[in-house]
Amino acid sequence: MKICLVGPFPPLRGGIAHYNAQLGLELMTRHEIAVISFSRQYPAILFPGRTQFDTGSPPVGLTSEAILDSINPLSWLRTGRRIAEIAPDLVIVHWWHPFFGLCLGTTVSLARRRSRASVIFICHNVVPHEPFPLASGLTRFALASGDAWLVHSETDRQDLESLNLRGHTLLVPQPPGQGFGAPIDKEEAKSRLGLSGNTLLFFGLIRSYKGLPGLLEAMPLVLQKVNCTLLVVGEFYEGKDRCLSLISDLGLASHVRVIDRFVPDNEVSLYFSAADLVVLPYESATQSAIVPIAFAFERPVVATRVGGLPEAVRDGETGLLVEPRNPTALAEAIIRFYEEDMGGIFRRHILKQQRFSWGELAATLETAAISRTSQ
């Protein structure tokens, strides 16, 4: 089968680019793969980070054509024609924000008119975390050009069904985090980071919906019972001044380490290996790529009961769940983890749990494409 992947791809950075690369590496073991990426993903004025590019090494064996410009309609037409020239049997398109609705919807619609390919959207978020003008209309315009849509959470499935699209919805778990390097001995990882003792990890690009202020407000309560260090690792896109003020006002400077930068894939192992517990105090979510990374490094998770997080974290087995926007409940869960020495039990459950593999994800996409073409 000839397959075309459309979406962010290294050297563009971020979780979706990484996901796209891992999926491509899996698919290329038995298919001919072409990758269409962005020459410009976000206009500089709209991008909140320092750079849109990753300094790490690209995936070995896969290359992309960076020809799609999110704000240049001529590039949408050129890309649609290019996809048709590739003549794929299956086009897999990554979807995550209505800002790309016109770009991806136009591109895919043009490609469909010129080819007989099946089109499957992988929806990382059906709707955005933050309000966006005309979000529903732009989302529906883009996703209506697909034959099927793959989602990783029940929340996203429900959001997708509200759009009343014609096609099939595929609900599958998110595959485990991979491509982040081998685990490191915990004490060695802590030593390399200049840490000792109990260590919590908050990881990922920092946006308001991820609830970091609530975790900082929980820390004084945690420290009354447990001496620990919180690692905050990720570039601030929003809320940096507020978080730094909380660290200062709550007297947390000696117990919170802030690493305000995007972490390339080859450094991810260091931070997860050093942690006892990964904390996701999200105020809203559909899913999180942080959970499968944590489990790949055998690290339990404390998360809030929002979106698809309860589907990913089994309360009392692979982690603990608490109500969102409740620093007291969050602190109690962290204290319970340490006082009841739950790390070993959770790790055993994480090791035993059945994981939906990248191979199974690829097979799901293949089956959906074959089913459509046989109709």
CA torsion 156→157→160→164, rounded to 10°? -160
The answer to whether residue 359 scores a pLDDT higher than 90 is yes
Q: Nearest Cα to 91, choosing from 72, 116, 62, 65?
A: 116
Tens of pLDDT, residue by residue over 322-336, are: 999 999 999 999 999
- Residue 270 forms part of a structural domain: yes
- Residue 29 forms part of a structural domain: yes
- Residue 181 forms part of a structural domain: no
What pLDDT score does 122 carry?
A: 98
In this structure, are 198 and 169 located in the same domain?
no
Tens of pLDDT, residue by residue over 156-172, are: 999 999 999 988 999 99
Tens of pLDDT, residue by residue over 10-28, are: 999 999 999 999 999 999 9
Higher-confidence position of 54 and 21: 21
| DSSP codes of every residue in 98-122 | GGGHHHHHHHHHHHHHH---EEEEE
- Residue 132 forms part of a structural domain: yes
Tokens of 61: 């064996």
In this structure, are 207 and 300 located in the same domain?
yes
Tens of pLDDT, residue by residue over 214-258, are: 999 999 999 999 999 999 999 999 999 999 999 999 999 999 999
pLDDT band at 372 (very low <50, low <70, confident <90, very high): low
**CA atoms 362, 365, 371, 375: torsion sign:** negative
What pLDDT score does 287 carry?
A: 83
- Residue 135 forms part of a structural domain: yes
Q: How many domains does the chain have?
A: 2
The answer to whether residue 146 scores a pLDDT higher than 70 is yes
Which long-range contacts (C-beta less than 8 Å, at least 24 apart) are formed by 342-350? 342/300, 343/276, 343/277, 343/300, 346/300, 346/317, 346/318, 346/319, 347/298, 347/299, 347/300, 349/314, 349/317, 349/318, 350/295, 350/298, 350/299, 350/300, 350/318
Q: Which domain holds residue 278?
A: 186-352
In this structure, are 218 and 282 located in the same domain?
yes
- Residue 180 forms part of a structural domain: no
The answer to whether residue 131 scores a pLDDT higher than 90 is no
The domain that holds 47 is classified in CATH as 3.40.50.2000
In this structure, are 166 and 236 located in the same domain?
no
The answer to whether residue 47 scores a pLDDT higher than 80 is no
In this structure, are 343 and 361 located in the same domain?
no
In this structure, are 257 and 369 located in the same domain?
no
- SS3 state at 228: strand
What pLDDT score does 371 carry?
A: 66
Find the mean pLDDT for residues 333-343.
Answer: 98
73-88 burial, b at 16+ Cβ within 10 Å, e below that, comes to eebbebbbebbbebeb
Tens of pLDDT, residue by residue over 172-193, are: 999 999 999 999 999 999 999 9
- Residue 43 forms part of a structural domain: yes
Q: Nearest Cα to 216, choosing from 237, 244, 241?
A: 244
> Strand 118-123 to strand 2-6: parallel, antiparallel, or no bridges (unpaired)?
unpaired
In this structure, are 39 and 153 located in the same domain?
yes
In this structure, are 151 and 252 located in the same domain?
no
- Residue 149 forms part of a structural domain: yes
Q: How many Cα atoms within 13 Å fall on the side-chain side of residue 290?
A: 25
For residue 371, how many other CB atoms are within 10 A of its CB? Answer: 13
In this structure, are 24 and 164 located in the same domain?
yes
Q: How are strands ordered across the β-sheet holding 65-69?
A: 65-69, 32-40, 2-6, 90-95, 118-123, 148-151, 168-171
Tens of pLDDT, residue by residue over 83-126, are: 999 999 999 999 999 999 999 999 999 999 998 899 999 999 99
What does the alpha-carbon distance between residue 370 and residue 367 come to, in Å, rounded to a whole number? 5
User: Which residues are registered as beta bridge partners of 228?
Assistant: 198
What pLDDT score does 130 carry?
A: 80
In this structure, are 61 and 75 located in the same domain?
yes
In this structure, are 55 and 155 located in the same domain?
yes
The answer to whether residue 298 scores a pLDDT higher than 60 is yes
In this structure, are 14 and 163 located in the same domain?
yes
The predicted model scores a pTM of 0.93
The residue with tokens 């004084």 is 220
Q: Nearest Cα to 280, choosing from 201, 338, 184?
A: 201
